[in-house]
Amino acid sequence: MVTFVVSILDITVFPTIVITSNSSLNVDSGTTIVLTCVSYGIPLPIISWFKDNATLMQSSNVKIDDELVQNERNYTQSFLTLCGLTVVDSGTYTCQAENRVGFTSSDSVITVYSRARILMAPNDTAINAGETLQVACSARGEFPTVTWLMEDVVISNNTDDRTTIYDRHVLVNGTIVLQSTLVVENVSDADSGLYACLANSRASRDESNFIVSVNSLPATIEMLPPSEIVAMYRGNITIQVSARGYPLPTITWYRNNQTLTESVFTGISVVEELQQGNDRVVIFSLRVSGDELSNSVAIEGVVNNGLAGGSSNRFVVQVNVQSKFLC
């Protein structure tokens, strides 16, 4: 009798991960990424996914797809899809391949940066010349910064002595928000243009544009002198008028259609005094004395700053000189 002994050869191979994703990934919040893990072994390995050593399960933003690839060397591949990443999704993601012989793993460290986002931006702004422009922009992100631009040129505290930028960080609903304020004093036509608030974070940027229109102010008379003045023979008079506008107004004085110019010999002097503050009012004073007041005369003033649309910019003062023979 012949006895045959049949032995079944049990071949096993320790699992090996042959393809995996990058070991380190930096992405913006809101990004969707796919991690890949391919493993070979006998028997075919089972692939599991972990985040910070905790098992990952299917959810609304976590998708796991496994498939068996059969060719001359069978292997298992698995795809982990992470949808709409947020900062809390940062961590170490592990692909683990396991069969009855053992297991192996591969890690990918994912860092999710908060995307730069402008929360509040200036609207288009119209402002009168000589006033102060103040606009604010707030942004959030991973260590956010705000840069101001005017016609694509960076604005800073060193731009000129009229410009100041104030930045401060505040905590809003657990999120750090940068509030930035741009202040430009005594604006002029040159400050009109396209402005931008540019928010930057570690890995992204956001931008909001707005237009600043600076309105020049035609010369307008604020205070008129009396229409008639009585003066002593060869005495002294002062005619005073105030006006506002931007650019600042100027005045020309006339007597009998002839321009009056300042002269120590004729006793005529012209004084200009700028009122401080945001009013931008200039006070003009004409002082006349001596021989210039020997006869009655009409003195005319014309206030102008070169802009159309001004009102009440011309006035006449009748100066009546008393006779030197009056008792």
Tokens of 107: 């890690």
State the average pLDDT over residues 258-286: 68
pLDDT of residue 250: 83
Mean pLDDT is lowest, of 38-47, 154-163, 193-202, 293-302, for 293-302
> Burial letters for 100-110: b for 16+ Cβ neighbours within 10 Å, e otherwise?
eeebbbbebeb
Residues 199, 239, single domain; the answer is: no
pLDDT of residue 211: 96
Query: Rounded to whole angstroms, how far apart are CA atoms 67 and 7?
Result: 32
Let me know if residue 8 belongs to a domain: no
State the average pLDDT over residues 31-40: 92
Residues 95, 121, single domain; the answer is: no
Let me know if residue 3 belongs to a domain: no
Residue 210: pLDDT band by 50, 70, 90 thresholds?
A: very high
Instruction: Count Cβ atoms below 10 Å from residue 219 Cβ, excluding itself.
Output: 25
- Please give the torsion angle defined by the CA atoms of residues 304, 308, 311 and 316, in that order, rounded to the nearest 10 degrees: 40
Residues 211, 227, single domain; the answer is: no
Mean pLDDT of all residues belonging to the chain: 84
Mean pLDDT is lowest, of 114-118, 209-213, 286-290, for 286-290
User: With contact defined as beta carbons under 8 Å apart, do 219 and 305 qualify?
Assistant: yes
Backbone angles phi, psi at 21, to 5 degrees: -80, 175
* Total number of domains in the chain: 3
Let me know if residue 305 belongs to a domain: yes
The answer on pLDDT for 275 being more than 90 is no
The answer on pLDDT for 304 being more than 90 is no
Q: What is the CATH number of the domain that holds 31?
A: 2.60.40.10
